[in-house]
Amino acid sequence: MTRTLICNGRIITAVDDYRADILIDSGRIRAIGENLPIDDAEVTRIDASGLYVLPGGVDCHTHLENTFGESTTADDFISGTRAAAFGGTTTIVDFAFQNHDTGVMAAIEAACLRAEGKAAIDYGFHLITTHVDDQSLEDMKHAIRHGGVSSFKMFMAYPGKVMVDDAQIFRAMRLVGEHGGVITLHAENGIVIEQLIREALAQGNTSPRYHALTRPSIMEGEATHRGIRLAELAQAPVYFVHLSAQEALAQVVEARDRGIPVFAETCPHYLFFDDSVYDSDDFDVARYVMSPPLRSRQTQSDLWRALKFDDLQVIATDHCPYCMKEGHLGRIRQKPFGRDDFSKIPNGAPGIEARMTVIHDGGVRAGLISLNRFVELTATAPAKIFGLFPRKGTIAVGSDADLVLFDPLARHVISAEHHHSDCDYNLFEGREVQGKVQKVFLRGELIVDGEQWRGRPGSGQFLRRGETVGF
């Protein structure tokens, strides 16, 4: 592999901000310094004057080619990782599914098969655990030690589908915590929500807006409180995915203030959209059908403030795309599957490509978070929490040369017409942003060069993740 020298860039990590050259050799960062004495004949020189040099983004919550119920997400590992790369993300953590009759290791192998030969960026998996017994606990231990999977997602929602009860969560937390892993929770009170859904449908309220009306924020707060108490009893860390509600945030803040190892992510859609989109009976509202749903405008400010002061640690996308048009690129059972019954609309929204640019524009440029905090939230903290640091998530000698050259001044308009996902809509359609990814390197290989795609399906590697660090 050739050596590459990235010159004159402004290197930004979670803690640094300085100008220097970066020498990449054999896929890793070999040296960082001013005017590195390198013979020109030996290297490919890239001029990064005027650009930020950021660590490749780490998106620890994506759903590529994931099947929930009857619907499969619209991006597979080819289109999804290509879109991620154009957005400055070089690592994702997606999901493996353990059903009642699937062993843990078989679930990880099946997930690897979905990605192999397709992924153009590096990837790992959380395991979705839908059933806990003595055998699955043994298997989870094995997955942490030998399978490269150290985090497990459990659902407090969707009864009869993937929901687990409190005893199962507690048992898994105790085991996983003891072995250096972490349980991640989808915190909504599924039983009460199911009752509200039944009542809404019985009253003939079938349009997509009732998705939001039947998933009140107080039920996210309740489940978050319960999840924290279970983790406390189990003496284990816990990570809340897609935190959206003020009531949930208050629980996380209270627990962290008491020194309990509680972590939480929020997602770009909760930071830029609010529940006013649900003020219509139009089916177009289905594009905002995700769980939890969008919350009040006031909650957006609460979430930004929490991101700034480390009450929230991560911004991940929960990229879970379903098309608005049935049959788009051959995708079936997409959003229109629930045209006559909101409870059948596949839950989720796209966002994998827009994350870095919208957070830079709406967060850093708007003065809500610093540039260092932007890197921490989108790369460093998820790498630490999910056992990928310091290989991923920072710019340091020895780390993988996953680098993003980012032009902080370039302006562009986000649109599904130009994005690289196979989803037929973009949540940020028409939004003008300042700041654009110019070049992306994955382990030293240039995979995005302006508008040109130079990545290859299959060049992404499965990441065997280690223990949770950073607390």
Residues that bind ligand URP (CB under 6 A): 63, 186, 242, 290-291, 318, 320, 347-348
Q: Which does 331 bind (CB under 5 to 8 A by kind): Zn ion, ligand URP, none?
A: none
| Residue 433: CB minimum distance to ligand URP, A | 24
* Residue 30 sits in the site that holds Zn ion (CB under 5 A): no
Q: Which does 347 bind (CB under 5 to 8 A by kind): Zn ion, ligand URP, none?
A: ligand URP
Measured from the CB atom, the residue of 223 and 368 that comes closer to Zn ion is 223
Measured from the CB atom, the residue of 343 and 434 that comes closer to ligand URP is 343
* Residue 318 sits in the site that holds Zn ion (CB under 5 A): yes
| Residue 269: CB minimum distance to Zn ion, A | 12
Size of the site for Zn ion (CB under 5 A): 2
Please give the backbone phi and psi of residue 19, each rounded to the nearest 5 degrees, phi first: -100, 130
**Which residue's beta carbon is nearest to the bound Zn ion?**
186
Measured from the CB atom, the residue of 52 and 95 that comes closer to ligand URP is 95
| Residue 387: CB minimum distance to Zn ion, A | 19
Measured from the CB atom, the residue of 93 and 137 that comes closer to ligand URP is 93
Q: Which does 290 bind (CB under 5 to 8 A by kind): ligand URP, Zn ion, none?
A: ligand URP
* DSSP line for 199-247: HHHHTT--STHHHHHTS-HHHHHHHHHHHHHHHHHHT--EEESS---HH
Identity of residue 129 = T
Nearest to 71 by CA among 419, 285, 318, 326: 326
Contacting residue, 10, 114, 126, 186, with Zn ion by CB under 5 A? 186
* Residue 319 sits in the site that holds Zn ion (CB under 5 A): no
CA distance 184 to 61: 11
* Residue 400 sits in the site that holds Zn ion (CB under 5 A): no
Tokens describing residue 59 = 């998106």
Q: From residue 110, give the alpha-carbon distance in Å to each of 98, 103, 104, 142, 176.
A: 10, 11, 10, 16, 22
Can you list the alpha helix ranges (DSSP code H) found in 314-440? Answer: 355-359, 371-375, 381-385
Measured from the CB atom, the residue of 52 and 273 that comes closer to Zn ion is 273
CA distance 322 to 274: 20
21 by DSSP, 3-state: which?
strand
Measured from the CB atom, the residue of 242 and 331 that comes closer to ligand URP is 242
Measured from the CB atom, the residue of 290 and 401 that comes closer to ligand URP is 290
Specify the stretch interacting with Zn ion by CB under 5 A; choose among 47-55, 256-264, 311-319, 442-450.
Answer: 311-319
| Residue 349: CB minimum distance to ligand URP, A | 7
Measured from the CB atom, the residue of 306 and 316 that comes closer to ligand URP is 316
Q: Which does 244 bind (CB under 5 to 8 A by kind): ligand URP, Zn ion, none?
A: none
| Residue 271: CB minimum distance to Zn ion, A | 16
* Residue 188 sits in the site that holds Zn ion (CB under 5 A): no
Measured from the CB atom, the residue of 186 and 295 that comes closer to Zn ion is 186
Evaluate whether 405 touches 53 at the Cβ level (below 8 Å): yes
* Residue 94 sits in the site that holds Zn ion (CB under 5 A): no
**Which residue's beta carbon is nearest to the bound ligand URP?**
347
| Residue 268: CB minimum distance to ligand URP, A | 13
Identity of residue 35 = N
Can you list the alpha helix ranges (DSSP code H) found in 235-344? Answer: 246-257, 268-272, 297-308
* DSSP line for 121-178: SEEEEEEEE----HHHHHHHHHIIIIIS--EEEEESSSTTTTB--HHHHHHHHHHHHH
Beta bridge partners of 32: 22
Nearest to 393 by CA among 369, 408, 375: 375
Largest Cα separation within the chain, whole Å, is 75
Q: Which does 336 bind (CB under 5 to 8 A by kind): ligand URP, Zn ion, none?
A: none
Beta bridge partners of 262: 238
| Residue 410: CB minimum distance to Zn ion, A | 30
| Residue 33: CB minimum distance to Zn ion, A | 41
Residue with token string 């049935």: 326
| Residue 73: CB minimum distance to ligand URP, A | 8
Which residues does 235 contact at the CB level (< 8 Å), separation at least 6?
174, 177
Measured from the CB atom, the residue of 30 and 186 that comes closer to Zn ion is 186
| Residue 153: CB minimum distance to ligand URP, A | 8
* Residue 302 sits in the site that holds Zn ion (CB under 5 A): no
CA angle 415, 417, 418 (to 5 degrees): 75
Measured from the CB atom, the residue of 21 and 318 that comes closer to ligand URP is 318
Q: Which does 392 bind (CB under 5 to 8 A by kind): ligand URP, Zn ion, none?
A: none
Phi-psi region of 18 (alpha: psi -120 to 50; beta: other; left: phi over 0): beta
- Binding residues for Zn ion, per CB under 5 A? 186, 318
